[in-house]
Amino acid sequence: MTAALALEQATRTFRNGSGIFDVDLELTSGQIVALVGLNGAGKSTLMRVLLGMLRPQSGRALLNGDDLDSAPMSAWARVGHLVEYPLAYGELTARRNLELSARLRGVADVTAAIDRVITEFALEQYADRRARALSLGNRQRVGVAAALQHDPSTIVLDEPTNALDPAGVIRLRESLLRRAADGAAILVSSHHLDEVARIADRIVVMNAGRLIGNLAPDTPEIEHAFFEVVRAHDEKRDEERGEKVGS
């Protein structure tokens, strides 16, 4: 089966030397992949390359098997994403912002889609408030709702639980589980390991721009296991650097 979104040996670096290196990742239908890593590990960069916000310097980023540049635009209508800031314009109400996102994704019945997602994320009492007047958490809810309202078959969310209250976190979790069960391919980044362990089929660990291993979601003391993987990778890098300096 062709992956919905995929990276093949993708490398994208910045002038300061940070970036992502030789990343291989596939998002497939019905699976939730959690991307975990410390701040600065490269999670957001990976997601940006995956969504075409950054072009890889080597390797490929693919949507349904096509390079992002040559993928048909219509294929993007089935993708939902929230990377960094929610697409919520301060001067517009929550409902208007949702309408804007829906229209830009070519949703056929905009009103029905908005009504559904407002109920799903309990946004009724905030729907007619301007986004500027919403709390950070509620604004995030609007952003998540905007990313999911068109029932995408591929979902990429960067730290979606940021600023969400516990009720919002539960609603998001249920929404993602239901969407995965309906066949969506999902990538979620987080630094809350317990949170992602509850919903992920696969947990991918990222460190210093590289995918360094997987954790089984049912790993006992998962945080401890995570730090072990990261520490082992850091030590290996230190050794390699030492060898380079020594040689």
Partner 1 sequence: MMAGLRAAIWAEAVKLAGSTVGRVGSAAIVIGISVISASMLLAAATTTDPQLLAKLGPVAAGDWRGFLLGAVQITGAGGLGGFAVILAWMFGREFGDGTIAGLFALSVRRTTIALAKLIVYLAWATAMSLLLAIVLALVGTLAGLGPIGTGTLEALARQAALGVMSVAITLPVAWAATLARSVLGGVSVAIALVVVAQVSVLAGLGGWMPLAAPALWAISLGTTVSPLQLSLLIPFGAIFVVLITQSWRRMQLDR
Q: Which of 4, 7, 27, 54 binds partner 1 (CB under 8 A)?
A: 54
Rule CB under 8 A: is residue 81 a binding residue for partner 1?
yes
Choices 31-39, 67-75, 196-204, 225-233; region in contact with partner 1 by CB under 8 A: 67-75
Give yes or no for residue 16 binding partner 1 (CB under 8 A): no
- By CB neighbour count within 10 A (0-12 exposed, 13-18 middle, 19+ buried), where does 24 fall? exposed
Chain positions 102 to 121 lying near partner 1, rule: CB under 8 A, are 103-106
Pick the stretch among 94-102, 164-172, 178-186, 192-200 that binds partner 1 (CB under 8 A): 94-102
What are the E-state strand segments in the chain? Answer: 5-13, 19-27, 32-36, 58-63, 66-67, 79-82, 154-158, 185-190, 202-207, 210-215
How many residues bind partner 1, per CB under 8 A?
Answer: 35
Q: What share of the chain is helix, strand, coil (3-state, %, to 5)?
A: 40, 25, 35
**Both tokens of residue 212?**
């360094």
Q: How far is the CB of 92 from partner 1 (least distance, A)?
A: 5
Closest CB 122 distance from partner 1, rounded Å: 22
Task: For residue 164, give every residue at least 6 positions away whose Cβ sits within 8 Å of its Cβ, in sequence order, or none.
Answer: 137, 140, 141, 144, 172
3-state secondary structure of 53: coil
Query: Which residue in 40, 58, 65, 89 binds partner 1 (CB under 8 A)?
Result: 89
* Contact residues: partner 1, CB under 8 A: 14, 48, 51-55, 73-77, 79, 81-92, 96, 100-101, 103-106, 143, 146, 156
